Structure 1
């Protein structure tokens, strides 16, 4: 498996180094044959290359089997004509990474706001919706009509609704066989109405999986009240973006939330959080989100290729994270005393011994 690795900005290089230590341990333990190509993007690339994302990087990612993208400081990267390209949004669109999978679960040893256990996955449509950089072939979908009026357009299409629904049902069939479609069809009748129709159509191909539907504002309340009732939650782009941050925090920390952006041919592992420049270089950042994201990338590769060694490695990383957290071998935000590098080494040691 050939991986392009982009450490990114802020805490990115630190958590990426910890993630690489875990991947190398998994490679040795399971004989994965991983090969790495490190590249730059974001602020460092902007300073050195005059653009935050060189064309050569895109070609390298297209030729690889996966991308590990560290957090990038995207504030101010708003004018592509000046080389200011947001790498995350660029890869999601150009590689058609239509499924953003965001698991959220509780861990023994980590206090969570609810004091109860849950294990769910948000499956977020990733390529259209209200995101102005993803729903137009050319230009931007936010229009300033007059100096004090802005109109934002949302694109919803049947093919995108159908394929994200199918991704959710495939995942649920391997889990607890329940899909919850989250929507606002009581107000957004045409767009979210189409989304619900697509979910119900796909459900007919998965008779073993139960489908229910929840309005998004009620869903936010239900997640706080009883998240354990949910298994796989599928929704449109912006709703999924918001709800996945909520579920990550409900698990105890957004630093525990893995995230993968996947399509039919390409996939990108990406931490669920930002670049946190205020703690960069202090060996304080929690590396678990990117480590779990890398584990998800291995699982995606296993499903795509049928190579069970990658699935075994992914499972071993997930178990090692849980064991390390339970043992207090974690960073201070989770109640531990380790720095970023040492936390990564602790997880890598458990993978090697698995």
Structure 2
């Protein structure tokens, strides 16, 4: 009995509703069960479209479908007749759960994927992306705000020359700006299922013509799920910078840090348009001699600048009764060597 005849015989005699053809020609002649039946083809990849040839440690694929008896106890080759997948025959209409596991020569699970599929006659294709056991990932894409005549500018139209990303406050890595604007976007590293944070900074030429300056920023959250990568899109916002120095007025003379005994300075910025504090209630702290304070990631608009000077734990100087208002402009950046705005604190 040749392979195809044997496969047809198995389809007639199997106790479950699904049976397996592994010779790859799949003409659907399994026969046997009455009612509407469906052939289901599983196709698998390994993390962002990796193929079986890319994972030589994978020696077999184990497929489990609760309630179904599969040929070879559900163990199949990673690649059959040039296809990274397998076809199961004659499923009655309904919804089925499945689990796929990629296994090495020592029966260790290297990659997994799970989910469900529904059938109601005809054929059905299930694409599964297998990831390291317990891990998953996401596809991330992005867009820039309108600029000039461009409602959705490309990276070059937005004058972006480079980009960096950080997930879950981790290491900053360089990413390709154009990749996040094409296809499904860019694939993240493998992550645990659940909620994650993302921050992206797009760099380019500021209004003074200096390259590698922050032009756009974004931050947000996304949720990954085991067994299937999610796709999420984020929108950038334009940013500008601020640089602030401080001085002290004791009522008759200007004083420096040493003369006042101030050791710590705390500043904060109030976004006038939203009435929210950039650094929360606590503010951002510096040693007194660390001026200027610089922030390069502010949305354009007006900000009230609040500064307090502390002698030990005592607040001794402040400008909070008469805060300076600073206007941040998009793409107008500041560095520590640029001219700063000086804020004068009065003695309490």
TM-score of the superposition, structure 1-length normalised? 0.21
- Greater strand content: 2
TM-score of the superposition, structure 2-length normalised? 0.21
